A = this chain, B = another copy of it.
Amino acid sequence: MQRTLCTDLPTATPGEPVRIQGWVHRRRELAQLTFLVVRDRSGLAQVVVRGDAAQGLPPEETPVEVTGTATANPQAPGGVEVTDPTVTALSDDADTPPVELWRPTLSASLPTLLDHAAVTWRHPVQRAKWELAAAAMKGFRDTLDAGGFTEIATPKLVESATESGANVFQVDYFGRPAYLAQSPQFYKQVLVGVFERVYEVGPVFRAEPHDTVRHVAQFLSLDVELGFIEDHREVIQVLRDVVAGMVEAVGTYAAPAVERLGIELPVVLEEIPLLHFREALEIAGAPADEPDLAPAHERALGEWARAEHGSDFVVVEGYPTANRAFYSHPDPADPHWSRSFDLIFRGTELVSGAQRLHRYDDYVRTLEERGYPYEPYASYVEAFRRGIPPHGGFAIGLERFVGRLTQSPNIREVTLFPRDLHRLAP
């Protein structure tokens, strides 16, 4: 007999035999009968066990197979339950879970949630968060595939740190030092020289020495880079389409998860409101000589975008060049400002991007101006003697995106098995 998924049970013909598989979500013993709620990847189903059959039913979280009769019952979830069942355990009795997974909400503290992640992710509301993540990845890739981008896979073991010397993990690489890549920045830039338009979905590593709610030591970075651009505005347009594709995919492929979480998906306008850094400071009520936007400023900008444009997103461009990565392209009209941008989602920075430098001489001059030594950057910078067109890109932190979607206070709540200063397991 074919397996029926729990959410498909309502489509079964009453009186017909059915077979379901899943975990014992809840075992509720009454005087006359036992209700067994079975959970599978799709949802829940109710099984009614009467008489002797109710003896020795496996405890919660044990995987089971149930064959029985589909029976209409307006009080059952979906209006159909399984009666007259044969319940077969598919493994030994499960240990009592560290948290009660059958309760509608998971009230465990964050440390408990994380210590027992392999179990706590089973809770339907918790699981829903990752279902958003999986759908978002699909939307990311589908949008870029349609735009002529090539997916790449780059080395995570590198000879030197690109982004900054600090916050990098050192590896014993056959007896010599190597480092875990903090981003695929160099590789995506040189691969623009090959494929013009590239993206990567892969882990990046930051030896973040501070315990914050926004940082973990490994996260999934959704990286994009494209060549033959006029300026950073073309990159912002691609970013807009990518974010719209991610939100749309969440709505399409993770609709039950969205419903379970009770969240509202954000609005991605055709044109995301765009502010220059100077205007952004003004709107946020910050002094005109601030070098960067503080979290409070980003919150103010989020409120402004919602109030003025009904938008959950706002892009700020033109951050001061001196405050951005050295490979950011200055604004030719006034090199004090850069062709960089951030995307602010509901008042928090979600994405950083920019047009990059593409000429070797510009790299050399910038390193000099900043007082950076040439040698550690030599192999990076010399790649630009090989003919790289004007290009730019951005990176989206997947878990940060999901964290904002679900309004999770801590990034760890939406990371499958987070790594940080204190946590290396499970």
Contacts and interface: CB of A to CB of B under 8 A. Distances in A.
Interface of A: 3, 21, 23, 40-41, 61-63, 65, 90-92, 94-95, 97, 118-119, 121-122, 127, 130-131, 133-134, 137-138, 141, 145, 148, 150-159, 169-174, 176, 178, 180, 187, 190-191, 193-197, 201-203, 205, 207, 209, 217-218, 220, 227-228, 253, 358-361, 379, 383-390, 398, 416-417, 419, 421, 424-426
Contacts of A220: 153
Nearest to A60: B387
Contacts of A97: 386
Nearest to A187: B417
A158 to B, nearest CB: 7
A421 B190 CA distance: 24
A28 B279 CA distance: 51
Contact of A92 (B131, B157, B360): B360
A228 B61 contact: no
B134 A151 contact: yes
B118 A190 contact: yes
Residue among A21, A62, A118, A151 with most chain B CB within 10 A: A118
Contact of A180 (B63, B91, B171, B195): B171
Given A91-B387, A97-B386, A220-B153, A171 B171 contact: yes
A167 to B, nearest CB: 11
Contact of A203 (B65, B202, B361): B202
B173 A171 contact: no
A118 B228 CA distance: 18
Contact of A217 (B118, B152, B157): B157
